[in-house]
């Protein structure tokens, strides 16, 4: 949560070899607000983790991915979701 807003993240096509992660922030009434996406370096594996900033202006998203014979943990900061 980002204050009274809710941030959601999901993988658009879990079977793709390169995952597209979509991030969307909903307003207090559940209406879509800021939306963006990021391409992972491989296929996202398991659960993604998200942490909102204390000042409610951004968040950090972390995930693990597999691709090219290697496993990696990735972290991305989104600071364009201000209220």
pTM of the model: 0.85
DSSP state at residue 5: B
φ and ψ of 51, to 5 deg: -135, 125
CA distance 39 to 45: 14
Which among 56, 48, 58, 6 is positioned nearest to 27, based on CA atoms?
A: 6
- In 2-58, DSSP assigns E strands to 6-11, 20-26, 32-39, 43-52
How far, in whole angstroms, is CA 41 from its chain's centroid?
Answer: 14
pLDDT in tens, 6-15: 999 999 998 8
pLDDT in tens, 10-46: 999 988 889 999 999 999 999 998 899 999 989 999 9
């Amino acid at each position: 949560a980002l204050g009274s807003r809710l941030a959601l993240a999901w993988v658009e096509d879990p079977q793709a070899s390169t995952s597209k992660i979509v991030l969307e922030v909903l307003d207090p009434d559940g209406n879509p607000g800021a939306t963006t996406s990021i391409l992972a370096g491989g296929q996202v594996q398991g659960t993604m983790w998200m942490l909102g900033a204390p000042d409610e202006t951004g968040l950090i998203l972390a995930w693990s991915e597999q691709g090219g014979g290697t496993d990696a943990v990735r972290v991305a900061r989104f600071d364009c979701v201000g209220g």
